Amino acid sequence: MEHGKAASYNHGCHCPECAYAHARRHAEQRKALAARAAAGDPATPHGTEGGYKNWVCRCVPCTAANTAAVARYREGRRRRGGGLGFEDAPRPVNW
């Protein structure tokens, strides 16, 4: 396996060189998606949480969808008493 490649990171190597290559490629992909969304790419899922988070779209409908999703998440946390919801789940014996 060749180190310093994003593909190596995807195949399981998380050494610093491969992790950096993966982070760099991920940042480039997000930047490209944001540019496509800003240019009005019809594939951009406007009015969705995914449009906001994945496509980095900050139009009013995408922002509103993300705001609603965050409100639902926070309400769920409040109903559960601030926990993540798995505190009482059975744990493996070796914990």
List, for residues 35-64, the tens digit of each pLDDT value: 998 898 999 899 999 999 999 999 999 999
**How far apart, in whole angstroms, are the C-alpha atoms of residue 10 and residue 24?**
13
At 83, which amino acid appears? G
Angle at 85 between CA 84 and CA 89, to 5 degrees: 125
Q: How many CA atoms lie within 13 A of 41 on its CB side?
A: 14
What six digits make up the tokens of 42? 């019809």
User: Has residue 17 got a pLDDT over 70?
Assistant: yes
User: Has residue 90 got a pLDDT over 80?
Assistant: no
User: Has residue 83 got a pLDDT over 70?
Assistant: no
At 20, which amino acid appears? Y
Cβ contact 6:24 at 8 Å? yes
Q: Is the pTM of this model over 0.75?
A: no
